[in-house]
Amino acid sequence: MLLAALSYDPIVHIEIGPLSISPHGVGIALGFLLGARLMLPAARRKGITEDDVYALLTRAAIGAIIGARVAYVINHIGDYDSILEVFKIWEGGISLLGGFVGAVAAALPEMRKRRLSFWSVMDAAAPGMALGVVIGRIGDLIVADHLGKPTDFFLGYRCPPPNVDTASPCNGTVVFQPALIDLLLTAALLVVLLRLRRSPRWDGFLICVFTVWYGIARIIEDFMRIDETHGTGLTGSQWTSVVAVLLAGTWLVFGRRTPRWGQWDNEPADAPTDGRETPDEPPTMASQPESEE
C-alpha cells in the first residue's frame, strides 16, 4: 500500500525573453564546472598544475558531449529514421556513462603529452565526477526526466496532471524516479571519496572505488527505468557497468597497486610520446615525482 509519494510540477523550460533555458542543461553545465573546481586542490597536491587541469578539462568537455550522444544513439539506434536526426542533440538524448567514456578518451592524449599519470589525474577527478553527477541529477529532478516504471515505493513520483509537461513520459500514477536514487547514492559516494582521499593511497584506488560504487548503482537503478534492453534484458548502461565493475573490482581485490599502464609521469624526459624522436626538454612540474597526500 502506498503511504506517500513525491509530488511537484516540474519546470521543463524557463523563458527569458526570446531564450528558452532548460534547468537540465544548466545542471549539467554547473555540475561540470563545480566538479572541475573540486578537482583542482587534489590535482595540485599530486603535482598537476592548473594549466594541466584546464587543458585536460577543455578536451574532456568536448569528448563528454560527443561520447554522451554517441552512446545514446547506439543504445537507441532504432529510434532514428535518418542520419541527420542523430546530430539533433538539442532535441535530447544523451548518456551519462557515454559522457564519462568520451571525456576520458578525449583527455588521454593530452595526459600522455604532458607526461601526467593517468591514475593520478583520475584519482584527483573522482570526487569531482561524483559531485558533477549529484548536481546534474538535481537538474533532472527539476524537469522530471528519466521517469521510470510504476511503483508503490515511498520515494516514487506522483505524475502531474496531463496538462503539465514533464521531460520524459510519466507512465503511471506513481513511478520510480531513478534520478533521485542516483542522486542519493552518488552523494553518499562523494562523502566516501572525500574521506578516503585524506589518507595516502596507491594511484588508481579512488577511481576504482568510484567505478565499482557507481557501476553497481547504475545496474540497480536501470531496473527502475523504461529503456531499451539488449541480450538478457539489460540496458546498454547496465552492460557497460557490469564490465567496468568487474575490471575495477578485480583490481581493487587482487591488484592493490597502481597499474603499470598510464604512468607517463615516470617516463624519461626525452622519451617520445607519439612514436617520434623529440628533443630534450627541461623537466616540468608535471614530470616530477608525485608527492604523497
Convert the pLDDT of each residue in 195-212 to its tens digit. Answer: 999 999 999 999 999 999
What is the reported pLDDT for 284? 44
List the alpha helices (DSSP H) in the chain: 23-45, 50-75, 83-86, 96-113, 118-143, 178-196, 205-221, 236-250
Q: Is residue 160 part of a domain?
A: no
pLDDT (mean) for 232-259: 95
Q: Span 260-266, mean pLDDT?
A: 93
Residue 134 in any domain: the answer is yes
- Please name the amino acid found at residue 155: L
Over residues 242-253, mean pLDDT: 97
User: Binning pLDDT at 50, 70 and 90, where does residue 65 land?
Assistant: very high
Does residue 271 carry a pLDDT above 80?
no
Residue 179 to residues 103, 111, 133, 141, 143, Cα–Cα distance (Å) = 21, 32, 10, 7, 11
Cell of residue 217, nine digits: 548503482
* Residue 27 forms part of a structural domain: yes
Residue range 208-230, pLDDT digits in tens: 999 999 999 999 999 999 888 87
pLDDT-based confidence at residue 19 (cuts at 50, 70, 90): confident
Q: State phi, psi for 240 to the nearest 5 degrees.
A: -60, -45
Helix (H, G, I), strand (E, B) or coil at 175: strand
Examine the pLDDT at 3 and tell me if it is beyond 90: no
42 found inside a domain:
yes
Any domain includes 6? no
Structural domains of the chain, count: 1
The answer to whether residues 59 and 107 touch, using CB atoms and an 8 Å cutoff, is yes
State the pLDDT confidence band at 244, using cuts at 50, 70 and 90.
very high
**Which residue range forms the structural domain that includes residue 192?**
19-145+179-267
Q: What is the pLDDT of residue 267?
A: 79
* 124 located within any domain: yes
Average pLDDT rounded to a whole number, residues 55-72: 94
Position 290 in a domain:
no
| Phi/psi at 239 (5° precision) | -60, -45
> Is residue 286 assigned to a domain?
no
The three cell numbers locating residue 288:
616530477
Q: Is the pLDDT of residue 157 over 60?
A: yes
- pLDDT over 50 at 276, yes or no: no
